[in-house]
Amino acid sequence: MSSKPIGVFDSGVGGTSIWKEIQKLLPNEDTIYLADSKNAPYGEKSQEEILQLSIKNTELLLEKGCKLIVVACNTATTNAISNLRAQYKVPFIGIEPAIKPAALQSKSKTVGVLATKGTLASSLFHSTSENHANGIKIIEQEGTGLVPLIESGKVATEETINLLNTYISPMLEQDMDHLVLGCTHYPYLIPTLKSILPDHVKIIDSGEAVARQVKAVLEKKDLLNTSNNSAIHELFTNINPQVLESFVNDVEATLSVQRLDF
């Protein structure tokens, strides 16, 4: 039993898509969210840079007393989580592109993965992808430019739609019937993606699965918050609180969004 907060970090606002699933499933839990928007996009950085940024975020969450850390970023998970686990005692939950359910369900045997350059280049992504590639064609597509657009709140502008079309069209030409969102920023593009994709193409993202995993680990380690106090959520960004706020203002919970230098 622990009333300490769950820590969550991402390169920016995208990880709030995961944070929302956690908050929905575990409404009693306090949370601290770090949006490292100053350093976004992580996906264009080297593995060493991604690791150093992940360490910086982890240290801050530990200073704030977090009992578990969610790496709400595919790029940081695939490039840094094994080092983080080796270096710190706190449990870490990460997120990786959900290739497995897509590969199992695909009828056309063709699955598209939209993710950052850093995720697609990682060895963790490659080994997961190879494990499920049996008889399945996996089309890897870098989503270059999408994270900066989302970070500036442009989720449904013409520029975003055009860029998405450039990435999606070649995947559709190859008969993709499942599109895996391999970046926690991309769930915010789902309404736009639905307007581009034919009805038979299913979008797969792993936010809910991550939240279930957080719950399972807290239970296993006896760290669930069993009090009936209403939860407190503190969200920090090192750039613009208004932007972060605009991504969480649909959540009915006690939360504060603040600017912090980190």
Binding site for ligand DGL (CB under 6 A): 10-12, 14-15, 40-43, 73-75, 116, 119, 147, 183-185
In whole angstroms, how close is the CB of 103 to ligand DGL at the nearest point? Answer: 20
What string of DSSP letters covers the chain?
---SPEEEEESSSTTHHHHHHHHHH-TT--EEEEE-GGG--GGGS-HHHHHHHHHHHHHHHHHTT-SEEEE--HHHHHHHHHHHHHH-SS-EE-----HHHHHHH-SSSEEEEEE-HHHHHSHHHHHHHHHH-TT-EEEEEE-TTHHHHHHTT-SSSHHHHHHHHHHHHHHHHTT--EEEEESTTGGGGHHHHHHHS-TTPEEE--HHHHHHHHHHHHHHTT------SPPEEEEEESS-HHHHHHHHTT--SEEEEEE---
Judge residue 235's burial from the number of C-beta atoms within 10 Å of its C-beta, 0-12 exposed, 13-18 middle, 19 or more buried.
Answer: buried
Q: Looking at beta carbons only, is 61 or 231 nearer to ligand DGL? A: 61
Q: Which is nearer to ligand DGL, 78 or 110 (CB)?
A: 78
| Catalytic residue selected from 35, 73, 189, 210 | 73
Q: Is 73 marked active-site?
A: yes
Amino acid type, 156: A
For the bound state, the minimum distance from the C-beta of residue 228 to ligand DGL, rounded and expressed in Å, comes to 33
Please, what is the minimum distance in Å from the beta carbon of residue 233 to ligand DGL? 19
- Please say if 183 is a catalytic residue: yes
Catalytic choice (183, 210, 214, 248): 183
Query: What is the nearest approach in angstroms of ligand DGL to the Cβ of residue 8?
Result: 11
Smallest distance from ligand DGL to CB 82, Å: 16
Closer Cβ to ligand DGL, 125 or 225, answer by number: 125
φ, ψ at 16 (rounded to 5°): -65, -20
Q: Give 5 or 14: the residue with its C-beta nearer to ligand DGL.
A: 14
Q: Which residue lies nearer to ligand DGL by CB, 33 or 42?
A: 42
Active site residues: 73, 183
